[in-house]
Amino acid sequence: MRKHIVAGNWKMNKTFEEADELINDIKDQLEEITLDRNTQVIICPPFPFLEMATDYSEESYFAVGAQNVSDQESGAYTGEVSAAMLESMELEYCIVGHSERRAYYHETDEIVARKVDQLLKHGISPIVCCGEVLEEREANRQFEVVKKQITDGLFHLTAEQFANIIIAYEPVWAIGTGKTATPEQAQEIHAFIRGLIAEKYGQAVADETSILYGGSCKPGNAKELFANPDVDGGLIGGASLKANDFIGIATAF
Ligand code: PGA
| Whole-structure pTM value | 0.98
Whole-number pLDDT of residue 36: 83
Residue 251 beta carbon below 6 angstroms from any ligand 1 atom: no
202 is in which domain, residue-wise?
A: 4-250
Looking at residue 37, its pLDDT comes to 86
Pocket test of ligand 1: the residue of 9, 43, 101, 166 to mutate, having most ligand atoms within 8 Å of its CB, is: 9
**Residues of the chain below pLDDT 70:** 1
Task: Say how many domains are in the chain.
Answer: 1
Q: Is the CB of 65 under 6 A from ligand 1?
A: no
Q: Which atom of ligand 1 is nearest to the CA of 175?
A: 5
Read out DSSP for the chain?
---EEEEEE--S---HHHHHHHHHHHHHHHHHS---TTEEEEEE--GGGHHHHHHHHTTSSEEEEES---SS-SSS-TT---HHHHHHTT--EEEES-HHHHHHS---HHHHHHHHHHHHHTT-EEEEEE---HHHHHTT-HHHHHHHHHHHHHTTS-HHHHTT-EEEE--GGGTTTSPPPPHHHHHHHHHHHHHHHHHHH-HHHHHH--EEEESS--HHHHHHHHTSTT--EEEESGGGGSHHHHHHHHT--
- Residue 166 belongs to domain with CATH number: 3.20.20.70
Active-site entry in 4, 132, 170, 190: 170
